[in-house]
Chains A and B, each alone.
Chain A
Amino acid sequence: MKFTWFNLMPWPYLPDDFREKNRSVWVDIDQRLFDPAKSHEVYNTYMDLLEYADRLGFDGIGVNEHHQNGYGIMPSPNIIAAGLARRTENAAIVVLGNSIALYNPPVRVAEEFAMLDCISGGRLVAGFPVGTSMDTNYCYGQIPSLTREKYQEAHDLIIKAWTSRDPFAFNGRYNKLRYVNIWPRPIQQPHPPVHIPGGGSVETYDFCIDNTYSYSYLSFSGYLRAKALMQGYWDRVAARNAPDESPYRAGFAQTICVAETDEEAERLYSEHVSYFYNRCLHVYPGFADAPGYRTIKTIQSGALSQYAPPKGGYAQLSWKELTEQGHVIAGSPETVRQRMEDLIKGLHVGNIFCLMHVGNMPADKCMYSTKLFAEKVMPKLRDMFSDYAQDDRFWCKPLAKRATSGSLPAEAPTSAALAKAYA
């Protein structure tokens, strides 16, 4: 199993009456609710928590890209990842990911991911989302019905840039480049492992199967509701005669809160869970799915937009309902272990993106929950899918010997020392 500690980086100061006074947490959120001076502390705390997860032995630490979004203050995940690459030692740097249709030219992603791979010593896991409609269409102005074509071209260009050893010309519809010749290039060969976040479209299933990429379902509504979608993926894997059904072909994001007891979990975390589901997911429905963004096939499959709230909205859901319905897995280490096992077996997923910082959770509670998960839950789940323990196609392959950042000597050498060293 691979556990990635993920932080969406929510803005923790949305007011109590946020839902009533604002139509959306995303796209046209009120600028005035952001306080740059306070964000200094918020960013540094969030990055500290990601680094803490590395020290506790999580396999990966994860960041993602959102724009104009109250629950994600990470328009550039690569900036956060660069900081993490320097200050962490072992965890994979899981950037899930860069919305590649938004970069002009997308060679920029090939370059920045290569830099991250080089700085981290080959610890990068590269994610290529199409990007939500809010980000891609409404914030970044991409034409909905052409977004997927542009995404596809960006993907082809990035992979070619990573794998070609000679300059090449790229005559795309959206990118015309005479000399593609990235410098630097990634450590990992032929290129870093690729994870594709998807929302249930058959096209994305096939894209992952054909390219040996891991399919990630980044839902906030929990594993019980994800069954049909993930089953659709595994059915497709079987139907396309993929050589195996390795659980590492798939990943799933789950909100997780651990305490000593179920009661303590509710007492400590319910307000933060409520903050996330009720304030952070308050997205104006008009922004959820620009016409043309999803394919006709996907709409006809009956899959609702990932951002469609449950009937009645999250506001109607109590802690009990959120946990029972699996939106959130919370409780004592044993409760969480049982439910995680259900999730992992039920969805057949080897990559878990653990959403352990939730809403406006303060750092102390987050550390507490994270530590309990790392020490009392993770070890008991670690060896699931032992048949596939050797499957390294979907995870990073770091250099065996990696540099230690910040290891310059305390003092600059003297003239005499240099003369001796370079004699």
Chain B
Amino acid sequence: MELKTVQTRHAPVRYFEGGSGPDLVYLHGAGGVTAEDPFLAALAARHHVFAPLIPGYGDSEEAPEIRDMLDFTLHSWDVVEALGLKDPILVGHSMGGMIAAEMAAVAPNDISRLALICPAGLWDDDHPIADIFSLLPYEMPKILFHDAEAGAAMLTAGRNVEDPNFLQTYLVTNARQLGMAGRILFPIPERGLAQRLYRIKAKTVIVWGDSDRLVPPFYAHAFKKGIGRAELVSIPEAGHMVVLEQPAAVVEAIGRLG
């Protein structure tokens, strides 16, 4: 994966590009995405992948003017436009799935293939989504992964927790990334998508990890019900980070879009 920059109205956007095949735009979740992400590699085996970072993620510039759901949605369309893409396969994980669904709802004629991987964006009082903002780092793995132990190893890989600057770097990264994510996810990750879902015309595949403890599989059915042409793919032995735990199965599911 190559890290590149494209200029948009609000900020220069950093994005990963790689692979060959049909164009595919991948929108990452609240935890971000890196060049080493096994899911990007798996996608790139079959697609020409573009994975833009939301402003503030990784080393990218922040965009203070992007505040609400419409801003996120239109900015993401700006990125697609700036990349010169027409009707790419649009894939989003978690927060990225929420944005992708919004994009497909506001511009239903511009997206014909959509993959939503355990997306945020809906809320039901009887099925509350855990509050990721108040979670302590050590609490994350059991919420995010089917296999918490293996997940913890993935989360800490490449990080030197003994580094005296680790805490500060961690806090700054969190403030930049989750601070930005909070604009559409805090305190409840719902911004009215339910009343717009009906507009989506794309052929849609909804992918969910069976043991998702962050956004419970209940929501898979809610999305399926709300989108006209949607198929649901459940993936066993996978939690919310299904893209890390079962990347091949997710790519397989996206393959159903043709």
Contacts and interface: CB of A to CB of B under 8 A. Distances in A.
B183 A291 contact: no
B168 A291 contact: no
B234 interface: no
B172 A143 contact: no
Interface string A130-146: 00000001100101111
A90 B253 CA distance: 74
A296 interface: yes
A249 B133 CA distance: 35
B67 A287 contact: no
A299 B180 contact: no
B246 interface: no
Interface string A96-132: 0000000000000000000000000000000000000
Interface string B168-186: 1001101111111111001
A137 B172 CA distance: 18
Given A137-B187, A302-B168, A286 B136 contact: yes
Contacts, number: 64
Contact of A286 (B134, B175, B179, B180): B134
B170 to A, nearest CB: 10
A138 B188 CA distance: 11
A286 B135 CA distance: 6
A294 interface: yes
A29 interface: no
A319 interface: no
Contacts of B134: 138, 284, 286-287, 290
Interface in A346-370: none
Interface residues of B, number: 22
Given A138-B134, A286-B134, A299-B168, A143 B175 contact: no
A292 interface: yes
A299 B172 contact: yes
A290 B133 contact: yes
Interface residues of A, number: 23
Nearest to A291: B178
A73 B34 CA distance: 46
A83 interface: no
A299 B136 CA distance: 18
B175 A299 contact: yes
Given A137-B187, A145-B180, A291 B136 contact: no
Contacts of A300: 168, 172
B103 to A, nearest CB: 21
B136 A145 contact: no
B168 A290 contact: no
Contacts of B67: 146, 173
A173 B71 CA distance: 14
Given A145-B179, A296-B172, A296-B175, A290 B135 contact: no
A172 interface: no
A303 to B, nearest CB: 11
Given A137-B186, A286-B134, A290-B186, A144 B172 contact: no
Interface string B135-146: 110010000000
A213 to B, nearest CB: 24
A144 B134 CA distance: 12
Contacts of A379: none
Nearest to B174: A291
Contacts of A15: none
B168 A143 contact: no
Contacts of B186: 137, 141, 143-144, 290, 292
Contact of A292 (B168, B179, B188): B179
B180 A292 contact: yes
Interface string A286-311: 11011111111001101000000000
A296 B176 contact: yes
Nearest to A287: B134
Given A141-B188, A299-B175, 16 more contacts: A137-B186, A138-B134, A141-B186, A141-B187, A143-B183, A143-B186, A144-B133, A144-B179, A146-B67, A284-B134, A291-B133, A291-B175, A293-B175, A293-B179, A299-B168, A299-B171
Interface of A: 137-138, 141, 143-146, 173, 284-287, 289-296, 299-300, 302
12 contacts: A141-B187, A143-B182, A289-B171, A290-B134, A290-B182, A291-B175, A291-B177, A292-B178, A292-B186, A293-B179, A299-B175, A300-B168
